[in-house]
Chain A
Amino acid sequence: MAIAEISLPAWVTFKKTLLHAGEFSLFFFRFLRESFKPPFEGREFLIQCYKAGNKSLPLVGVTSFIMGLVLTLQTRPSLATFGAVSLLPGMVSVSVIKEIGPVITAVICAGKISSRIGAELGSMKVTEQIDAMEVSAINPFHYLVVTRVWATTCMLPVLVVFADCIALFSSFLAYNIHGDISLTRFFSLALSRLDWIDIFPSVIKSILFGTAIGIIGCYKGFRVEGGTASVGTAANSAVVTASLAIFFIDLVTVQITDIF
């Protein structure tokens, strides 16, 4: 009896998870299929690029500035113990460009962009705006989902490059609190530790993070049913799922890129 009581809810949860995974896969394949179908909504795509990219710049900028500053200030004493302070720019650049930059930027964007998309599409669903589009013979999936997912996919790598630059610059400022190094020398030391093969996984990761953020936001928004309360739930769920997906993608891509 006790085993049945415990196992029944677990089985129901497992079945629900499988069902969601199936629905999400269908949603993703529909996105891939519709991506290459005309008409191409160029205007809406550019609007979404502006919203995802330009409007995230201040938040990404401030966060990456603090990230570079803190990383440098905290690592410097440890390196100084071994007399290896000159390795600091290289260490910061490898950490920021290979891992911290893409992951922190993606997590911030999951909070900012994925929740915005989830809430926006969710409220459009409950106020029948998506149905209005459908009955006007305009494919809402094509107009709303395809444009948003491509926008986040294209904008995230740009935001990551921006975040990396800001973090390295703030690292340079932090380095100069206790030391004296020119900007050219700092960047030359920082980039000397990097190879093209180090940048490649970071770019791939950023693209995948962007796609995950966009598609999860859209999926959660499109699945909203009922009243306005479910819009908040969808936005919240979009952030949580997108953040988890980012760490999962990070784990997988590290394993794959390590092979090469």
Chain B
Amino acid sequence: METTVPVVEIRGLRKTFNQVEILKGIDLCIDKAENLVVLGKSGSGKSTLIKCMIGLSEPDGGSICIMGQNIAEASYDQLNQLRIKIGFLFQSGALYDSMSVKENLAFPLRHHKKHLGKDKINQLIREVLENVGLPDAGDKMPAELSGGMNKRIGLARTLILKPSIMLYDEPTTGLDTATAKEISQLILDMQRKYKISSLIITHDINCARMTADRIVMLNDGIIVAEGTYDELIKSKDEWVSSFFN
């Protein structure tokens, strides 16, 4: 029987802010090319979980192993080496507003792929802009973009380094239904095209339905349910069913 090694393995993760325990011992795994959705209400600890995974927040207990590397034991340089392999899409897109879209996309390449020439960088930018469906947005400034376009460019900026893992922080929040659907479809397309393992933090049921291979439900810092969308929708648990109905 074939066993797969998880790309991300979290054991007993704990985090406290101002004496309030946000995460109370989270255990979860993500397999290669799997889309895992973490579903939960606002304030349930979803964003804290994703920030601990990327090293923006330091856990108080437990371990996070990403591609075999324990985040807590990694030096700053080791953590940075790992971060190059992890893409992170912020809720706001977090584009650098003093740079054009093209400069935003070239920025990580200029730092991590110094051997690339100008032509190759331009080619990669064109490629990634076509992948997110905005081939003509290169010369625009972030202030000229709509919310949906902002997220697409944010996604393009993370994909340009060809990450093995993608972390999405509320990718459809603040978007209209049609644009949210487009972003969810884009997440799915990227996973299929590049075989990326993804963790999607959301409270949008439609996004979860479209993108999830597996769903983990978080409430008050603990995992209360786990399964596929079809399994969870049939759940008799009151809290879980309240989410799906």
Contact = CB atoms under 8 A, between A and B. Distances in A.
A135 B163 CA distance: 12
B88 A135 contact: yes
Contact of B94 (A120, A131, A138, A139): A131
B112 A137 contact: yes
A138 B90 contact: no
Nearest to A130: B94
Of A123, A129, A139, which is in contact with the most chain B CB atoms at under 10 Å from its CB? Answer: A129
Interface in A113-151: 120, 123-124, 127-129, 131-139
A137 B84 contact: yes
B84 A132 contact: no
Interface in B93-114: 94-98, 107-108, 111-112
Contact of A131 (B56, B80, B95, B157): B56
B111 A138 contact: yes
A128 B88 CA distance: 12
B162 to A, nearest CB: 13
A41 B92 CA distance: 27
Contact of B56 (A39, A135, A138): A135
A134 B57 CA distance: 12
Majority secondary structure of chain A interface residues (helix, strand, loop or mixed): helix
Nearest to A41: B111
B111 A128 contact: no
Given A135-B54, A135-B56, A127 B94 contact: yes
A132 B83 contact: no
A129 B56 contact: no
Contacts of B55: 134-135
Contacts of B96: 124, 129, 132-133
A221 to B, nearest CB: 14
B64 to A, nearest CB: 14
Given A127-B92, A131-B56, A138 B97 contact: no
A196 B215 CA distance: 74
A39 B112 CA distance: 11
B207 interface: no
B90 A137 contact: no
Of A124, A131, A134, A136, which is in contact with the most chain B CB atoms at under 10 Å from its CB? Answer: A136
Interface in B102-142: 107-108, 111-112
Given A127-B97, A129-B97, A135 B92 contact: no
A132 B111 contact: no
B37 interface: no
A39 B157 CA distance: 21
B201 interface: no
Interface in A4-55: 39
A136 B95 CA distance: 12
B92 A137 contact: no
Nearest to B108: A136
B217 interface: no
B86 interface: yes
A229 B136 CA distance: 35
Contacts of B185: none
Contacts of A120: 98
Interface in B48-97: 54-56, 80-81, 83-84, 86, 88, 90-92, 94-97
B83 A135 contact: yes
B83 A136 contact: yes
B86 A135 contact: yes
A139 B111 CA distance: 10
Contacts of B161: 136
Interface of A: 39, 120, 123-124, 127-129, 131-139
Given A132-B95, A132-B96, 15 more contacts: A39-B111, A128-B92, A129-B95, A129-B96, A131-B94, A132-B94, A134-B55, A135-B54, A135-B56, A135-B83, A136-B84, A136-B111, A137-B83, A137-B111, A139-B80
Report the 4 A-B pairs with minimum CB-CB distance, sorted nearest first.
Answer: A132-B94, A137-B80, A137-B83, A128-B94
9 contacts: A129-B94, A132-B88, A132-B90, A132-B96, A135-B83, A136-B107, A136-B108, A137-B80, A138-B107
